[in-house]
Structure 1
């Protein structure tokens, strides 16, 4: 998905990984570390790996119920570290709501929904264009 941004104040950067609160709605089995479904965020449809399920939390109070659970299943809510398998731009929900919510799709159905809490971005490599350098 394409993302336009302010190149001087807050440029869009590729995402290395992100922490998200995920609610599992409709999955027939258990989801564990390494699960890699398609994530639909804004106009992007990219496979993302559930690298680590950090905490199982209560959906209503956000209170931690279990640290480092082995798996999560339908009805559970969790804080998960996700790693995109291709280049992708996302932002925390608090800062840019449209870029901070997503749906997880697998087996031709929506398996989970979530909001992004924090993002680890790639450092930009390359040269600054002449026009961008003039405006600094």
Structure 2
């Protein structure tokens, strides 16, 4: 199922672009050799790849927020300050909203799905489920 979409979408190039973008952001956000938690960068990368593959859209929603998230990660006490704690919550709420949007997109694809027509990952997933793979 993913193979059909991956070949058409040139998945290897998409992954390379997303990884390069995330690596650049990490390099510019964190001093060389300084420890940091890469969790938000990894999450952003996976979401960007999945969204592009599934819906043909690249998600950039967390890219602009990673600098402040990195500061909060380096200094956990910042979470106790409402400005920073609220910011972190808003970022993760945005991630939840994106997840819900993905679910809605999938449900919409279910209504318009046509057997044998695979335009994106959602169509490939639906086709695979219907064929019992």
With normalisation by structure 1, the TM-score equals 0.23
